[in-house]
Amino acid sequence: MDQPVNPPPPRSLPRLRRPARRHHPRRRLVALAGVALSLVLTGCSGVEPRAAAGGTAAPAAAVVSGPLCDLLPSGSDPGNPASLAGQPAEAALQWLPVLTTFEAAVRASGLAADLRGGSGLTILAPTDDAFAAKFSEDTLDQLLLVDKDKLRGLLREHLVAGSLSLSDMVAAGQVTTLAGTRLTVTGRETSARLADRADTVCADYRVANARIHLINRVLGDLPTTARADGHRAH
């Protein structure tokens, strides 16, 4: 009788190598060092981070909406909505390439720590284009370097107590900023109109203890100094 032939030992499968991640262009490379640890903990792959021991799980989804969202980091790009979930607001702002002026204003004003405090916060963040349409370069320099009280007052016009989603604001019909200004909120498909003046262009970034909504106009009553032809005054 023929002797049974033992099957050869199973071959180990080769380890698959992950494709290299694409890096989104950044204006402030120095921000990479400041938030690297947070990104390791929360992940940049677009997969929701797991809850730490004894902590609360991150939201099941990180969905943003608005006409500008398609031009912002997505998928596995650093700065994608899922990767920002759980990060401090001031760190998350550094990963959104159209908010460099607003992020610089937060740092210059000394309000970065205030974005993490309290029972939650809603941040209505004007884009760089919104600041360019409102202020001349000289006025912005003056605000960022000298007029810190005016700068803090301007930023409070863009902060609302409580972490409110876009649907929360539309349902309420009105929100009050930390500066005491009441803003009417009207829903518009995937965006909302604020005080019949500004529109959300990419809303519902979930970050630690806050929501960030990008808007296309600067709020508040500081006078406009940019030239009407779109060029900045000097």
Once rounded to an integer, what is the mean pLDDT over residues 139-155? 97
Instruction: Indicate the pLDDT class of residue 167, thresholds 50, 70 and 90.
Output: very high
What is the C-alpha to C-alpha distance for residues 115 and 108, in angstroms, rounded to an integer?
14
Task: Report domain extents, the chain.
Answer: 61-215
> Is the distance from CB of 217 to CB of 208 less than 8 angstroms?
no
3-state secondary structure the chain: CCCCCCCCCCCCCCCCCCCCCCCCCCCCCHHHHHHHHHHHHHCCCCCCCCCCCCCCCCCCCCCCECCCHHHCCCCCCCCCHHHHCCCCHHHHHCCCCCCHHHHHHHHHHCCCHHHHCCCCEEEEEECHHHHHHHCCHHHHHHHHHCCHHHHHHHHHCCEEECCCCHHHHHHHCEEEECCCCEEEEEEECCEEEECCCEEEEEEEEEECCEEEEEECCCCCCCCCCCCCCCCCCC
Q: How does residue 17 score in pLDDT terms, banded at 50, 70 and 90?
A: very low
180 backbone φψ class: left, alpha, beta (φ>0; ψ -120 to 50): left
> Can you name the CATH fold of 61-215?
FAS1 domain (2.30.180)
Residues facing residue 152 across a β-bridge: none
pLDDT digit string, tens, across residues 42-94: 333 333 333 334 444 444 457 999 999 999 999 999 999 999 998 999 999 99
| Residue 158, pLDDT above cutoff 80 | yes
How far apart CA 203 and CA 61 sit, in angstroms, is: 14
> What sign does the CA torsion over 100, 110, 134, 137 have?
negative
Segment 152-156 mean pLDDT: 97
Average pLDDT, the chain: 80
How much is the pLDDT for 6? Answer: 53
pLDDT (average), residues 160-171: 96
Determine contact, residues 62/72, Cβ cutoff 8 Å. no
Cα gap 144→102, rounded to integer Å: 10
Place of tokens 């993490």: 116
pLDDT at 163: 95
Q: Inform me whether the pLDDT recorded for 130 exceeds 60.
A: yes
Q: How far apart are CA 95 and CA 4, in angstroms?
A: 63
Query: pLDDT by residue (tens digit) across 92-103?
Result: 999 999 999 999
How high is the pLDDT of residue 231?
Answer: 54
Under 8 Å between Cβ of 35 and 95 = yes
- State the average pLDDT over residues 123-141: 98
